[in-house]
Chain A
């Protein structure tokens, strides 16, 4: 099946652009980025803080079944225009990755469809390419953890 998400990562540029069209009215798409309990569901992480306003901050945290924190991220919101735009930073804690800058643009396509464009700027080209490789390594880890969880429950 063709993926609906497109990614453009040009050679030699320390940025990438993720685009996706949704079968959702613009307002609903935007709500999915604003309401903490909804962000939790689709991002698969706990939302400790989400201040959806200019100069607001946010904090995500993911724990494994034993309660150990395996992922923490935070950032600040620089610009917040309802149903239109969020500009924010994103930083993963306890990793070598520096903070990245994200421009999220929300667009109405029709009454029931909308589009998200996520433009991410990295500190360097090398960090961008490393970030792109993350799911490779993480995917293996996550599959392993999931397996462990299932197995633990069986015992």
Chain B
């Protein structure tokens, strides 16, 4: 259960990536999302469920229909997931630079 709710595993799946891309353009009903895939509605619905559990999608009731849309806040977090890694290397390289500026060849 824990691993399935891992947001990075959620976006690692190609079908779920397509769903996110579709919903980036407009909010859609589960049926309209499923129309874009050859797989069964059940399968697509499972993918939607996982994305919703990861808070990447938000539901909105519109009359009788449920519309899914992207949770922009969560998506932004995912886009920024590379930042701590980049910061780690930047810190290392800054250190390298300052050490080598003072370096005297042996």
Contacts and interface: CB of A to CB of B under 8 A. Distances in A.
Interface of A: 3-7, 9, 11-12, 18, 20, 22-24, 28-29, 31-32, 38, 41-44, 116, 125-126, 129-136, 139
B84 A32 contact: no
B84 A139 contact: yes
Interface stretch (B29-37, B44-52, B62-70, B85-93): B85-93
B97 A22 contact: yes
B25 to A, nearest CB: 17
B100 A29 contact: yes
B17 interface: yes
Interface size class of B (residues with CB under 8 A): 20 to 34
A136 B89 CA distance: 13
B1 interface: no
Contacts of A4: 90, 93-94
Contacts of A29: 96, 100
Given A129-B12, A132-B81, A133-B81, A38 B86 contact: no
A134 B12 CA distance: 16
B43 interface: no
Contacts, number: 78
A84 to B, nearest CB: 17
A38 B95 CA distance: 10
B10 to A, nearest CB: 11
7 contacts: A7-B86, A22-B100, A38-B103, A42-B92, A42-B96, A126-B12, A133-B85
B17 to A, nearest CB: 7
Interface of B: 8-9, 12, 14, 17, 81-82, 84-90, 92-97, 99-101, 103
A32 B12 contact: no
A30 to B, nearest CB: 10
B101 A42 contact: no
Nearest to B86: A7
Given A5-B86, A135-B84, 10 more contacts: A7-B89, A24-B97, A28-B100, A31-B103, A38-B96, A38-B100, A38-B103, A42-B99, A133-B8, A133-B81
